Chains A and B, each alone.
Chain A
Amino acid sequence: MTAEPWGPAPDGVDQPYWDGLTRGDLMLQRCDNCDTWIWGPQWICASCHTFDPGWQRVEPVGTVYTWSRSWYPFISELPVERPYVTVLVELSGAGGRRVLGILTGDDTDQVRIGDHVAGHFERDDGATWPMLRWRRVESEGAAA
């Protein structure tokens, strides 16, 4: 599969995020000047207006801020069986920034807001980019 409608932006604003996925790292922006965590990717820090905020590796652990289960085939290129659950995860180590991801495992029907989750990286067959995906875990910081 080469026609994924995702990947680095042509202007390069989020290239380190995608390079991080390839290495198995979750990379988020953090302003070099004022330490503010930033997501989604921006050219400028909204807090102090410094251009080109830096990037920092973040441990992919956090809690479910919200979730939804998609039944309709919204995205034909998505190599994931329907229905699937998308979670919005509030990261524990990034100033409360939230990232989206698909929830995997055999207990996705149990998902609730506040659940502890841990991230892992999966590359689907034929996919160009690995994806950060999530599993429910017993406690904060537990391994996926």
Chain B
Amino acid sequence: MSTIGLRGAAAVAGVSEQHYKRGEAPAGELRMTLEAVTRACADAGVSPRELDGFVSYAGGGHDGSVIGGALGVHDVRWSTMVWGGGGGGVAAAINNAATAIATGQADCVVVYRAMSQVDTGRLGYAKYFYGPHYLAHGVGSPAQVCALRTQRLLEHDGVPREGLRALVLAAYRHAQRNPTAQGYGKPLDVETYESSRLIVEPFHLFDCSRESDGAVALVLVSAERAKALRDDPAYVLAGAQGAPGGYSALVDNDEQYTSAGFAGADGRPGVADRLWAQAGIGPADVDVVQLYENFSGPAVAALIDHGLCPSGPAAGEVLTVDNLTAGVGKLPVNTSGGNIADSFVNGMNLAVEAVRQIRGTSTNQVDGARTSLFVGGPMAPLVSSTLFAHGDVL
């Protein structure tokens, strides 16, 4: 059997990202989506009319026929929603676009997500996110399920809580150099972090991501086309998704309880294993990471799953503020400020920063970054990752 490889077949040629404080978007989700899509096309140097693929995730509104119709595209050849997982499916959406291009189903695919609280309310405090066997016991938010898992990660596995804090402080440190970050001009110190109010233990306020209004779009084309359009495309080197263990369908009876969902098990390669196998490189070769932090704990678990950080007490040696800071440490994470200190448009904003690192245009640029990992929502029912690379790596 022959298979079509994903490695290097498609690349991100255009991006657009806008965000506002939650509830303060000047427009609804449809208009913001159209703005983001047309700006990403302009960034790529393609006409919106050339788009023939439309991909989103997390149940966002406005499918391919709606956006394609509004833009007067010639044909919608690919209109696909990642099924399940909420923000866990964000990287899967990018992988989905690359797959369509690699297999010839579409030539010019836009991946997008828009959020306006006026349209769709808040995500994290949405009641009834979980079923009756959670709600009856006071558990109704992803924050709480992630807290239960994080508590075991700390107390049983021995990952130091200071490691979670370091991830948050590094995000704020990056945000001080990113004028569009919502945390810009608001540096965070240890004392402020520690004295912030508890939301659900072990999470303080600052362990929780923001929720922003905004819209994000990425335009993907074939590697050949991308090279003709610009000299710094971000190639999709590898992508993987997975839903191991059943997660919430099993009411917290899944086996690898403190995994963020990317880890394999004996005889079963996980999302991260499949990602590295496709890419032909390993965690030690990653230059910079954009890591979806719904909450600090699941983000740390995702680093562990990807082999970027050991589990247990040794995690503390990797998870220091300096080591996670661009230009200082070996494992720069969330260089725009991430969901916690920059903005949160269901995590898709992080994919744009991952592309900026390949282009060399981040406000916290990692010198000579050639591989840029994007990790989607951790401890979600379905999770996904995408590894971007500079043309030099192909």
Q: Is the CB of B148 within 8 A of A41?
A: no
Q: Is the CB of A88 within 8 A of B198?
A: no
Q: Is the CB of A40 within 8 A of B136?
A: no
Q: Is the CB of A75 within 8 A of B140?
A: yes
Contact of A100 among B134, B149, B198 (CB under 8 A): B134
Q: Is the CB of B133 within 8 A of A68?
A: no
The answer to whether the Cβ of B128 comes within 8 Å of any Cβ in the partner chain is yes
The answer to whether the Cβ of A93 comes within 8 Å of any Cβ in the partner chain is no
What is the CA–CA distance of A71 and B143 in the complex, to the nearest angstrom? 11
| Chain A residues numbered 1-49 whose CB sits less than 8 Å from any CB in chain B | 4-9, 14, 39-41, 46
Q: Which segment of A50-58, A78-86, A135-143 sits at the interface?
A: A78-86
Contact of A5 among B127, B199, B250 (CB under 8 A): B127
Q: Is the CB of B257 within 8 A of A66?
A: yes
Q: How many residues of A contact B (CB 8 A)?
A: 38
The answer to whether the Cβ of A120 comes within 8 Å of any Cβ in the partner chain is no
Q: Which of A46, A78, A100, A112 has the most CB of B within 10 A?
A: A100
| Chain B residues numbered 227-250 whose CB sits less than 8 Å from any CB in chain A | 246, 249-250
Q: Is the CB of A113 within 8 A of B152?
A: yes
Residue of B nearest to A76 (CB): B127
The answer to whether the Cβ of B5 comes within 8 Å of any Cβ in the partner chain is no
| Chain A residues numbered 107-126 whose CB sits less than 8 Å from any CB in chain B | 112-113
The answer to whether the Cβ of B253 comes within 8 Å of any Cβ in the partner chain is yes
Contact of A65 with B127 at beta-carbon distance under 8 Å, contacts A71-B199, A75-B135 already known = no
Q: Is the CB of A69 within 8 A of B252?
A: no
What is the CA–CA distance of A67 and B152 in the complex, to the nearest angstrom? 8
What is the CA–CA distance of A104 and B249 in the complex, to the nearest angstrom? 26
Cβ–Cβ < 8 Å partners of A8 in chain B: 132
Contact of B125 among A66, A74, A80, A131 (CB under 8 A): A74
The answer to whether the Cβ of B200 comes within 8 Å of any Cβ in the partner chain is yes
Q: Which of B140, B143, B202 has the most CB of A within 10 A?
A: B140
Cβ–Cβ < 8 Å partners of A99 in chain B: 251
Residue of A nearest to B208 (CB): A72
The answer to whether the Cβ of B131 comes within 8 Å of any Cβ in the partner chain is yes
What is the CA–CA distance of A91 and B133 in the complex, to the nearest angstrom? 16
What is the CA–CA distance of A70 and B202 in the complex, to the nearest angstrom? 9
Q: Is the CB of B155 within 8 A of A68?
A: no
What is the CA–CA distance of A8 and B136 in the complex, to the nearest angstrom? 11
The answer to whether the Cβ of B156 comes within 8 Å of any Cβ in the partner chain is yes
Cβ–Cβ < 8 Å partners of B132 in chain A: 5-9, 14
Cβ–Cβ < 8 Å partners of A66 in chain B: 148-149, 151-152, 155-156, 257
Contact of A39 among B127, B199, B250 (CB under 8 A): B250
Contact of A40 among B133, B202, B257 (CB under 8 A): B133
Cβ–Cβ < 8 Å partners of A5 in chain B: 127-128, 132, 135
Contact of A72 with B137 at beta-carbon distance under 8 Å, contacts A5-B128, A6-B132 already known = no
The answer to whether the Cβ of B323 comes within 8 Å of any Cβ in the partner chain is no
Contact of B252 among A4, A78, A98 (CB under 8 A): A98
Q: Is the CB of B251 within 8 A of A40?
A: yes
Cβ–Cβ < 8 Å partners of A129 in chain B: 136
| Chain B residues numbered 89-140 whose CB sits less than 8 Å from any CB in chain A | 125, 127-128, 131-140
B134-162 to A contact mask, C-beta < 8 Å, 1/0 = 11111111011001110110011000000
Interchain nearest-CB distance for A74 vs B (Å): 5
What is the CA–CA distance of A66 and B202 in the complex, to the nearest angstrom? 12
Contact of A41 with B199 at beta-carbon distance under 8 Å, contacts A66-B156, A97-B253 already known = no
What is the CA–CA distance of A41 and B134 in the complex, to the nearest angstrom? 12
Contact of A68 with B127 at beta-carbon distance under 8 Å, contacts A74-B138, A129-B136 already known = no
The answer to whether the Cβ of A61 comes within 8 Å of any Cβ in the partner chain is no
Q: Is the CB of B136 within 8 A of A6?
A: yes
Contact of A70 among B131, B144, B251, B253 (CB under 8 A): B144
What is the CA–CA distance of A40 and B131 in the complex, to the nearest angstrom? 10
Cβ–Cβ < 8 Å partners of A7 in chain B: 132
What is the CA–CA distance of A129 and B141 in the complex, to the nearest angstrom? 22
Contact of A112 among B140, B144, B155 (CB under 8 A): B155
What is the CA–CA distance of A113 and B296 in the complex, to the nearest angstrom? 21
Cβ–Cβ < 8 Å partners of A113 in chain B: 151-152, 155-156
Q: Is the CB of B133 within 8 A of A14?
A: yes
Contact of A69 with B152 at beta-carbon distance under 8 Å, contacts A86-B139, A101-B137 already known = no
Interchain nearest-CB distance for A88 vs B (Å): 6
Task: Give 14 CB contacts A-B under 8 Å.
Answer: A5-B128, A40-B133, A46-B246, A66-B152, A66-B257, A68-B144, A68-B148, A68-B202, A71-B201, A72-B143, A75-B127, A84-B138, A100-B137, A113-B155
Q: Which residues of B contact A (CB under 8 A)?
A: 125, 127-128, 131-141, 143-144, 147-149, 151-152, 155-156, 197-202, 246, 249-253, 257
Per CB-CB distance, the 10 closest pairs between chain A and chain B, nearest first, are A40-B251, A6-B132, A66-B152, A6-B136, A100-B137, A68-B147, A69-B201, A75-B140, A71-B198, A74-B140
